[in-house]
Amino acid sequence: MVELLQSLASRLTTKLPSNLDSLGQLALNFWWSWTPEGVAIFRDIDVSAWEQCQHNPIQFLSMSEEKLAQLATQPAYLERLRSVAAKFDSYMQSSHSTWAKQTAPEITPQQPVAYFSVEFGLHQTLHIYAGGLGILAGDHLKSASDLGLPMVGVGLLYRQGYFQQQLDASGWQQETYPEQDLETLPLELVRDSSGEPLKIKVTMCDRSVTVQAWRVRVGRVNLYLLDTGLEDNQKRDRQITNRLYQANDNVRIAQEMVLGIGGVRLLQHLGLDPKIYHLNESNAAFTLLEVARQLVHRGEPFERVKTVVQQRCVFTTHTPVLAGHQTFSIDLMTEYFANYWQQLGLTKDQFLALGASEQQDTEEKFSMTALALRLSKAANGVSQLNGGVNRQMWSPLYPQEIEPAPIGAITNGVHAGTWTAPSISELYAQYLDKDWTKRMSDRHLWENVNNIPDAEIWQRHQQLKEDLIAHVRTWVKQTRQRRGEDPQAIEECDRLFDPNVLTIGLARRFSSYKRGDLIFREPQRALQILSNSAQPVQIIFAGKAHPADDKSKQIIQNLIEWTRRPELHQRIIFLEDYDILIAKKLVQGVDLWLNTPLRPQEASGTSGQKVCFNGGINCSILDGWWREAYQQGADSKGVNGWAIGEDCSLDDSEAQAQKDAESLYDLLTREIVPLFYDRTSPELPDRWIAMMKASIKTAIPRFNTDRMVMEYVHQMYLSTANNAAPI
């Protein structure tokens, strides 16, 4: 395999003074984005320009030529750059001494874990993610890199991303799809041994689609993104990888064929023979068919091949509602795979039976989840509750089993380096361990959080909240200017929010089951809480609704109406176009994170985990990860946060919503708001800070992606790889 990033690297270095060459090398690997020194080495060149380009170092370096020329003569900056470059080089070259090298030596760069996902959330500048599934996938790759686990990611390059959200004057969500400027992104075409772009073919219906691939460096891990935007293809095929989560089933099935079938063929061309294939949700389930087809091609019967595929494949399922699982009509499967089942040595009926699902009570469908479960040895949900829900839901696939479906649970986590604010990370380094990120799962380490002086942790938190509010003011002003709102409303943005007021964050993909507007179920009670001048409360909302989901768009519109009420217009804000940058500001700066899904429909949820890494506190339904994290004291009150409602669910969703809303109002009025404003001195809310520390020390050692990836290695990768029968 040739050096893939050579041409992009050369373009960057021609623009840089020679003694700043290492800036170009850093810009080409997302390692910089989760390393405080890496972020600072770019940001400190020109803070204003850094913000203007949304923290994109490649675009930034092309904007700052005059500044760079000045920096090339500054010994202090050059020494800082040498230090960061040396740290990066040490990180990249120390793979022989990593946790994974010691624990799983049989997983190697030539036989890695191949991680397939329809979306990856690495950074706000690379628009190939929509929400939590993608953020999890990005964090998974980052922790695999930190642990030295040989892994390759396989995804799709969406040239128009998910969508850019804008709200019109009525508060209704509008979607735009700007093209990504590939020249300003850290990716390069994969090329063959002759230097030409590597192209693979995927047959769909009666035509052949040409696919090319791009590589993205994520620390020690390579992520390959497949792309059909080639002149070789028909117009409709060039558009297959244009957008993420399109509603058209013809586009969706084509995307998933490119991801699964094209992804396996790409890895084969790269000379990689994955020890394990890991599917992050069923969108990637066609991967299993292509792995099987290649083995059948060697002359083995399908039943023998099926066993081998199962031994090499693992599957993570998130969706706890049957209606949310991807299915395709039998007619569509027959059309797109017309010549494929013969290559597997199967009849049409045998092929379609791989995706048969006993749960389908309407027209017959091909279930991608059923396919993934049938052809994987191990499967897991993403929290203990989610695992149980999936075992029950998919038990009809296992009629001979005495126990429910063999689906385990590995609870999601978050990547510490990405989501912990540098100023908070400095506190952990000072009072816990300078290498605290390498000891995250050590519970004893986190007891030392009590040694952090209250005044110090509160000061850092307040600085982060002030930074969040400054960002909110700028962001809201820009959106109001774009909509042409009244000059007075634009001028008021400079006074939005108060850093001394209890600040709640609620941000997520807007979907009806997430109940983003639950706090307004009883308007008068909500008004009493939010308009209290003695103990005020302010809330920041953010999130997108799927373009085809009008019901969820209506929820957003209702929230916008609340922001315009005269008594609340300085207390409630909705931030448009939620992305990773906004998410970081929120989870690092809010006092309280609010999460109100209809239980048990939150698979795991990771935003609240990110809040804990920064000393924030959760108030959530006992669903997903919070059901495992929440701790209650002898007085039946929360030790590390608050639980809305009870650890059970009603069959009536409206009755459940009413009960949960009443619980939320009671918690806010009787516990949360009074605790925040209870000051033994004018400066410090001592009891609130004690809960902040409890949030940190109970959540971080359990809900980080290092622990999560380690569990995948022990429970899924090694147990599967060691039993795999070679062909």
Q: What is the pLDDT of residue 188?
A: 92
CA-nearest of 316, 323, 261 to 286 is 261
The answer on 606 and 715 residing in a single domain is no
Model confidence pLDDT, tens digit, residues 165-211: 999 989 999 999 999 999 999 999 999 989 999 999 999 998 999 99
Report which residue type is found at 630.
Answer: Y
Q: What is the pLDDT of residue 2?
A: 36
Instruction: Give 368's contacts (C-beta < 8 A, 6+ positions apart).
Output: 256, 282, 283, 285, 286, 325, 326, 327, 328, 355
Listed residues 78, 93, 108: the one ending a domain: 93
The answer on 556 and 490 residing in a single domain is yes
Instruction: Give 398's contacts (C-beta < 8 A, 6+ positions apart).
Output: 404, 405, 406
Q: What is the pLDDT of residue 607?
A: 96
Please indicate, yes or no, if residue 171 is contained in any of the structural domains. no
What band does 4 get if pLDDT is binned at 50, 70 and 90? Answer: very low
Model confidence pLDDT, tens digit, residues 405-456: 789 999 999 999 999 999 999 999 999 999 999 999 999 999 999 999 999 9
Q: Is 567 exposed, middle or buried (0-12, 13-18, 19+ CB in 10 A)?
A: exposed
Please indicate, yes or no, if residue 1 is contained in any of the structural domains. no
Element (H, E) at 336: helix 330-336
Please indicate, yes or no, if residue 170 is contained in any of the structural domains. no
The CB density around residue 219, as the number of other CB atoms within 10 Å, is: 23
Six token digits for residue 569? 């217009």
Q: What is the pLDDT of residue 9?
A: 62
Angle between the N-to-C axes of helices 302-312 and 286-296, in degrees from 0 to 180, rounded to the nearest 10: 130
Distances (CA, A) of 444 to 290, 439, 629, 670, 671: 46, 10, 17, 33, 29
Model confidence pLDDT, tens digit, residues 295-345: 998 888 999 999 999 999 999 999 888 878 899 999 999 999 998 999 999
Six token digits for residue 214? 């791009």
- Tell whether the model's pLDDT for residue 661 goes beyond 60: yes
Model confidence pLDDT, tens digit, residues 567-620: 887 899 999 999 999 999 999 999 999 999 999 999 999 999 999 999 999 999
Listed residues 93, 124, 140: the one ending a domain: 93
The answer on 118 and 59 residing in a single domain is no
What band does 499 get if pLDDT is binned at 50, 70 and 90? Answer: very high
Q: What is the pLDDT of residue 300?
A: 85
The answer on 392 and 300 residing in a single domain is yes
Instruction: Give 84's contacts (C-beta < 8 A, 6+ positions apart).
Output: 22, 26, 35, 37, 38, 41
Please indicate, yes or no, if residue 597 is contained in any of the structural domains. yes
The answer on 317 and 238 residing in a single domain is yes
The answer on 679 and 717 residing in a single domain is no
Please indicate, yes or no, if residue 262 is contained in any of the structural domains. yes
Listed residues 75, 93, 111: the one ending a domain: 93
- Tell whether the model's pLDDT for residue 394 goes beyond 90: yes
Q: What is the pLDDT of residue 13?
A: 64
CA-nearest of 631, 637, 633, 627 to 670 is 637
- Which residue carries 């990249």 as its tokens? 92
Task: Specify whether the CB–CB gap between 279 and 315 falls below 8 A.
Answer: yes
Six token digits for residue 386? 């989610």
Please indicate, yes or no, if residue 727 is contained in any of the structural domains. no
Angle between the N-to-C axes of helices 36-43 and 75-93, in degrees from 0 to 180, rounded to the nearest 10: 150
Please indicate, yes or no, if residue 577 is contained in any of the structural domains. yes
The answer on 112 and 44 residing in a single domain is no
What band does 95 get if pLDDT is binned at 50, 70 and 90? Answer: confident
The answer on 546 and 441 residing in a single domain is yes
- Assign residue 674 the CATH number of its domain: 3.40.50.2000
Q: How many domains does the chain contain in total?
A: 3
The answer on 132 and 36 residing in a single domain is no
The answer on 441 and 408 residing in a single domain is no
The answer on 392 and 497 residing in a single domain is no
The answer on 447 and 579 residing in a single domain is yes
Q: What is the pLDDT of residue 1?
A: 33
Range of the domain at 81: 6-93
| Entry field: residues in the chain | 727
Please indicate, yes or no, if residue 269 is contained in any of the structural domains. yes
Q: Is 597 left (phi over 0), alpha (psi -120 to 50) or beta?
A: beta
Task: Report how far apart the first and last C-alpha atoms of the chain are (Å, whole number).
Answer: 25
Task: Specify whether the CB–CB gap between 472 and 575 falls below 8 A.
Answer: yes
